Amino acid sequence: MPKQTFFNLPPQKRERILQTGMEEFAAYPYLKSSTNRIIENADISKGSFYQYFDNKKDLYKYIISKATDEKIEFLNQQLPAFEKQSFFEYLRALFIGGIKFKQEYPLLSKIGDRLLTGDNETLKKEIYAESRPKSNLFFLNILKKAEQRGELDPEVDIEMTAFMLTDFSISIIDYYFQKYGPENTNQAGEDLEQILDYVDKMIYIMKNGIAKGC
Protein backbone atom coordinates (compact mmCIF):
# COMPACT_ATOMS: atom_id res chain seq x y z
CA MET A 1 0.00 0.00 0.00
CA PRO A 2 1.40 3.46 -0.84
CA LYS A 3 2.47 5.70 1.99
CA GLN A 4 0.34 8.67 3.03
CA THR A 5 2.78 11.00 1.28
CA PHE A 6 1.61 9.54 -2.03
CA PHE A 7 -2.03 10.29 -1.27
CA ASN A 8 -1.08 13.82 -0.25
CA LEU A 9 0.21 14.52 -3.76
CA PRO A 10 -1.86 16.57 -6.22
CA PRO A 11 -4.19 14.26 -8.18
CA GLN A 12 -2.47 14.99 -11.47
CA LYS A 13 0.93 13.94 -10.13
CA ARG A 14 -0.51 10.79 -8.53
CA GLU A 15 -2.09 9.81 -11.84
CA ARG A 16 1.15 10.46 -13.73
CA ILE A 17 3.07 8.13 -11.43
CA LEU A 18 0.40 5.42 -11.64
CA GLN A 19 0.16 5.74 -15.41
CA THR A 20 3.93 5.42 -15.74
CA GLY A 21 3.90 2.38 -13.47
CA MET A 22 1.11 0.75 -15.48
CA GLU A 23 2.96 1.35 -18.74
CA GLU A 24 6.13 -0.20 -17.31
CA PHE A 25 4.41 -3.30 -15.90
CA ALA A 26 2.44 -3.74 -19.11
CA ALA A 27 5.60 -3.55 -21.21
CA TYR A 28 7.77 -5.86 -19.08
CA PRO A 29 7.29 -8.91 -16.87
CA TYR A 30 7.54 -7.94 -13.22
CA LEU A 31 11.07 -9.32 -12.76
CA LYS A 32 12.31 -7.35 -15.80
CA SER A 33 10.49 -4.12 -14.96
CA SER A 34 12.65 -1.25 -13.77
CA THR A 35 12.14 1.13 -10.86
CA ASN A 36 14.65 3.46 -12.48
CA ARG A 37 12.62 3.63 -15.70
CA ILE A 38 9.46 4.38 -13.73
CA ILE A 39 11.25 7.16 -11.84
CA GLU A 40 12.67 8.66 -15.03
CA ASN A 41 9.43 8.47 -17.01
CA ALA A 42 7.35 9.79 -14.12
CA ASP A 43 9.81 12.69 -13.75
CA ILE A 44 10.37 12.21 -10.03
CA SER A 45 13.51 11.66 -7.98
CA LYS A 46 14.50 8.28 -6.56
CA GLY A 47 14.17 9.74 -3.08
CA SER A 48 10.61 10.84 -3.84
CA PHE A 49 9.68 7.37 -5.12
CA TYR A 50 10.71 5.79 -1.83
CA GLN A 51 8.77 8.43 0.05
CA TYR A 52 5.66 7.21 -1.77
CA PHE A 53 6.30 3.45 -1.92
CA ASP A 54 8.36 0.94 0.02
CA ASN A 55 9.64 -0.63 -3.19
CA LYS A 56 8.65 -1.63 -6.73
CA LYS A 57 6.39 -4.42 -5.48
CA ASP A 58 4.47 -1.95 -3.35
CA LEU A 59 3.59 0.08 -6.46
CA TYR A 60 2.86 -3.06 -8.47
CA LYS A 61 0.48 -4.51 -5.89
CA TYR A 62 -1.33 -1.18 -5.60
CA ILE A 63 -1.86 -1.05 -9.36
CA ILE A 64 -3.15 -4.65 -9.36
CA SER A 65 -5.53 -3.77 -6.50
CA LYS A 66 -6.85 -0.76 -8.42
CA ALA A 67 -7.27 -2.91 -11.53
CA THR A 68 -9.32 -5.42 -9.52
CA ASP A 69 -11.52 -2.62 -8.19
CA GLU A 70 -11.95 -1.21 -11.71
CA LYS A 71 -13.01 -4.60 -13.04
CA ILE A 72 -15.51 -5.21 -10.26
CA GLU A 73 -16.99 -1.74 -10.79
CA PHE A 74 -17.17 -2.45 -14.53
CA LEU A 75 -19.03 -5.72 -13.88
CA ASN A 76 -21.31 -4.09 -11.31
CA GLN A 77 -22.72 -1.96 -14.11
CA GLN A 78 -24.41 -5.12 -15.38
CA LEU A 79 -26.19 -5.86 -12.10
CA PRO A 80 -29.52 -4.25 -13.17
CA ALA A 81 -29.75 -6.88 -15.92
CA PHE A 82 -29.82 -9.59 -13.24
CA GLU A 83 -33.49 -8.88 -12.55
CA LYS A 84 -34.38 -9.90 -16.12
CA GLN A 85 -32.11 -12.95 -16.43
CA SER A 86 -31.71 -16.34 -14.85
CA PHE A 87 -28.65 -16.87 -12.68
CA PHE A 88 -26.77 -18.83 -15.35
CA GLU A 89 -27.67 -16.33 -18.08
CA TYR A 90 -26.37 -13.58 -15.88
CA LEU A 91 -23.24 -15.55 -14.99
CA ARG A 92 -22.49 -15.94 -18.69
CA ALA A 93 -23.01 -12.20 -19.15
CA LEU A 94 -20.52 -11.56 -16.34
CA PHE A 95 -17.85 -13.71 -17.95
CA ILE A 96 -18.48 -11.91 -21.24
CA GLY A 97 -18.21 -8.65 -19.30
CA GLY A 98 -14.79 -9.77 -18.13
CA ILE A 99 -13.77 -10.22 -21.75
CA LYS A 100 -15.13 -6.76 -22.62
CA PHE A 101 -13.14 -5.31 -19.72
CA LYS A 102 -10.04 -6.89 -21.21
CA GLN A 103 -10.77 -5.18 -24.51
CA GLU A 104 -11.64 -1.76 -23.07
CA TYR A 105 -8.78 -1.61 -20.56
CA PRO A 106 -5.88 -3.06 -22.56
CA LEU A 107 -3.13 -1.65 -20.32
CA LEU A 108 -4.56 -3.15 -17.13
CA SER A 109 -5.32 -6.37 -18.98
CA LYS A 110 -1.76 -6.60 -20.26
CA ILE A 111 -0.48 -6.35 -16.69
CA GLY A 112 -2.85 -9.11 -15.67
CA ASP A 113 -1.75 -11.26 -18.60
CA ARG A 114 1.90 -10.86 -17.65
CA LEU A 115 1.10 -11.85 -14.07
CA LEU A 116 -0.84 -14.90 -15.21
CA THR A 117 1.80 -16.11 -17.65
CA GLY A 118 4.88 -15.01 -15.72
CA ASP A 119 7.29 -17.35 -13.95
CA ASN A 120 7.18 -15.57 -10.58
CA GLU A 121 4.91 -18.06 -8.82
CA THR A 122 5.52 -16.58 -5.37
CA LEU A 123 4.34 -13.14 -6.47
CA LYS A 124 1.39 -14.65 -8.34
CA LYS A 125 0.19 -16.52 -5.25
CA GLU A 126 0.63 -13.41 -3.12
CA ILE A 127 -1.39 -11.24 -5.52
CA TYR A 128 -4.16 -13.83 -5.89
CA ALA A 129 -4.42 -14.25 -2.13
CA GLU A 130 -4.92 -10.50 -1.70
CA SER A 131 -7.35 -9.99 -4.60
CA ARG A 132 -9.43 -13.16 -4.09
CA PRO A 133 -11.58 -11.80 -1.19
CA LYS A 134 -12.93 -8.99 -3.41
CA SER A 135 -13.87 -11.41 -6.17
CA ASN A 136 -15.33 -13.93 -3.72
CA LEU A 137 -17.53 -11.24 -2.18
CA PHE A 138 -18.72 -10.09 -5.60
CA PHE A 139 -19.84 -13.60 -6.56
CA LEU A 140 -21.24 -14.28 -3.09
CA ASN A 141 -23.61 -11.31 -3.36
CA ILE A 142 -24.88 -12.60 -6.70
CA LEU A 143 -25.33 -16.11 -5.33
CA LYS A 144 -27.30 -14.78 -2.36
CA LYS A 145 -29.74 -13.07 -4.72
CA ALA A 146 -30.07 -16.23 -6.80
CA GLU A 147 -30.68 -18.20 -3.60
CA GLN A 148 -33.42 -15.78 -2.55
CA ARG A 149 -35.06 -16.25 -5.95
CA GLY A 150 -35.05 -20.02 -5.47
CA GLU A 151 -32.70 -20.70 -8.40
CA LEU A 152 -30.11 -22.69 -6.47
CA ASP A 153 -30.13 -26.09 -4.86
CA PRO A 154 -30.62 -25.39 -1.13
CA GLU A 155 -27.87 -27.92 -0.37
CA VAL A 156 -25.31 -25.81 -2.22
CA ASP A 157 -22.72 -24.06 -0.06
CA ILE A 158 -22.76 -20.60 -1.64
CA GLU A 159 -19.55 -19.44 0.04
CA MET A 160 -17.69 -22.39 -1.44
CA THR A 161 -19.39 -21.74 -4.77
CA ALA A 162 -18.26 -18.09 -4.73
CA PHE A 163 -14.72 -19.34 -4.17
CA MET A 164 -15.07 -21.72 -7.11
CA LEU A 165 -16.49 -19.02 -9.40
CA THR A 166 -13.41 -16.89 -8.75
CA ASP A 167 -11.30 -19.83 -9.88
CA PHE A 168 -13.53 -20.40 -12.91
CA SER A 169 -13.17 -16.80 -14.01
CA ILE A 170 -9.38 -17.17 -13.89
CA SER A 171 -9.41 -20.64 -15.45
CA ILE A 172 -11.19 -19.49 -18.62
CA ILE A 173 -8.29 -17.24 -19.61
CA ASP A 174 -5.69 -19.59 -18.13
CA TYR A 175 -7.02 -22.47 -20.28
CA TYR A 176 -6.89 -20.28 -23.37
CA PHE A 177 -3.28 -19.32 -22.62
CA GLN A 178 -2.23 -22.93 -22.24
CA LYS A 179 -3.89 -23.95 -25.49
CA TYR A 180 -3.04 -21.00 -27.74
CA GLY A 181 -0.36 -18.97 -25.94
CA PRO A 182 -0.55 -15.46 -24.45
CA GLU A 183 0.50 -13.73 -27.66
CA ASN A 184 -2.91 -14.48 -29.22
CA THR A 185 -4.89 -12.66 -26.55
CA ASN A 186 -4.19 -9.32 -28.21
CA GLN A 187 -6.24 -10.36 -31.25
CA ALA A 188 -9.50 -9.50 -29.50
CA GLY A 189 -11.82 -10.04 -32.44
CA GLU A 190 -10.48 -13.52 -33.17
CA ASP A 191 -10.22 -14.49 -29.52
CA LEU A 192 -13.75 -13.52 -28.55
CA GLU A 193 -15.48 -16.41 -30.27
CA GLN A 194 -13.02 -18.93 -28.86
CA ILE A 195 -13.25 -17.62 -25.29
CA LEU A 196 -17.05 -17.46 -25.46
CA ASP A 197 -16.98 -21.12 -26.39
CA TYR A 198 -14.96 -21.82 -23.23
CA VAL A 199 -17.41 -19.74 -21.19
CA ASP A 200 -20.33 -21.81 -22.46
CA LYS A 201 -18.50 -25.05 -21.73
CA MET A 202 -17.75 -23.88 -18.19
CA ILE A 203 -21.36 -22.83 -17.62
CA TYR A 204 -22.58 -26.19 -18.91
CA ILE A 205 -20.37 -28.07 -16.45
CA MET A 206 -21.52 -25.87 -13.57
CA LYS A 207 -25.18 -26.21 -14.46
CA ASN A 208 -25.27 -29.92 -15.30
CA GLY A 209 -22.33 -31.44 -13.45
CA ILE A 210 -20.20 -34.22 -14.86
CA ALA A 211 -22.23 -37.26 -13.83
CA LYS A 212 -24.08 -39.11 -16.60
CA GLY A 213 -27.82 -38.52 -16.41
CA CYS A 214 -30.05 -41.44 -15.43
Question: Which positions ≥6 away from 80 have C-beta within 8 Å?
Answer: none
* Contact predicate 147/62, CB 8 Å: no
Across the chain, mean pLDDT equals 85
Q: Is residue 158 part of a domain?
A: yes
Q: Is residue 38 part of a domain?
A: no
pLDDT at residue 50 in the model: 97
pLDDT at residue 213 in the model: 62
pLDDT at residue 71 in the model: 87
Q: Is residue 4 part of a domain?
A: no
Expressed as residue numbers, the domain containing 127 is 64-208
Q: Is residue 51 part of a domain?
A: no
Q: What angle do CA 203, 204, 210 make, to 5 degrees?
A: 120
Nearest in space to 88 (alpha carbons), one of 3, 165, 176: 165
Q: Is residue 37 part of a domain?
A: no
pLDDT at residue 51 in the model: 97
Q: Is residue 53 part of a domain?
A: no
pLDDT at residue 180 in the model: 58
pLDDT at residue 144 in the model: 93
Q: Is residue 117 part of a domain?
A: yes
Regions of the chain where pLDDT drops below 70: 79, 173-192, 213-214
CATH of the domain at 109: 1.10.357.10
Stated pTM of the model: 0.80
Q: Is residue 99 part of a domain?
A: yes
pLDDT at residue 86 in the model: 87
Residue 115 CA to residue 109 CA, distance in Å, equals: 10
Domain count, the chain: 1
pLDDT at residue 140 in the model: 94
